[in-house]
Homo-oligomer: A and B are copies of this chain.
């Protein structure tokens, strides 16, 4: 087992289950989108599930997670109730954000899942703020900030990494390098696309590049990074190489990339490969995995049903939660 911590079979199977939960959640979301029950932008995380699960499973419950608009995976991995997540996608009053945020703006304060932010790079300054709050209070929590390769283009990446390093803030920047922004490639966007992780060193932030398709490698690297960050040594950056199996959003047929490239990456599907390794290693039987799929599908089918059955917000809800204390 490559992971730095000792993982028993139950835990490994749990990772599988968590990744599958995200995958099935999104498969169903895509269906519901086609049926017109989910609207607007829907960005799927298909193919990148190993990152959310490997990284977030390494956190304490009180650690903060913040991410971009491709947020279903992170939200579920941090413990968001699939019912609340699906209902949010449906725009229902029972959604985690009462239907007001939608797919791109999921939040769960109790789980310290701090969003779901749809402005590319916008979550970066916020993440330094979470880390600063924790540092000032001395309560030992860290902030885990996910970002795409595209967010590195934004000035806020620079401002946030500099501040985090300067003030030794407990924040772990986690770059999900899936090779594309929307249609633009990392080559078209970043002068240093071939060594993004090294770029962090310019800020005196240590970093590592890892395979983002392997949940155990993600977990191992994250645990090492967390030890650094929680130890008071300032930020750390991980670049995980990954691929989104689908277009940028449901509206995107991804005509800008070769089908052969997609196929190559799909061969490395983080869920099927991990499942196969569990079976090969004798940790689980195929029947057990099939059973997990059945369970997970039941959970998500129930979430869809819950969302479908839930009411839309009352018209008056329009004016709620604009300001507090009123």
Contact = CB atoms under 8 A, between A and B. Distances in A.
A58 interface: no
B189 A166 contact: yes
A154 interface: yes
A190 B162 contact: yes
Main secondary structure of the interface of A (DSSP, over half): helix
Complex copy number for this chain: 2
Contacts of A188: 166
Contacts of A161: 191
Interface string A269-293: 0000000000000000000000000
A155 B157 CA distance: 8
Nearest to A157: B158
Contact of A154 (B159, B190, B199): B159
30 contacts: A153-B159, A154-B155, A154-B159, A155-B155, A155-B156, A155-B157, A155-B158, A155-B159, A157-B158, A158-B158, A158-B159, A161-B191, A162-B190, A162-B191, A162-B192, A165-B191, A166-B188, A166-B189, A166-B190, A166-B191, A191-B203, A191-B204, A191-B205, A192-B202, A192-B203, A192-B204, A198-B202, A199-B202, A201-B202, A202-B202
Please give me the 8 A-B residue pairs with the lowest Cβ-Cβ distance, nearest first.
A155-B155, A158-B158, A165-B191, A202-B202, A166-B191, A199-B202, A191-B203, A155-B159
Interface of A: 153-159, 161-162, 165-166, 188-192, 198-199, 201-205
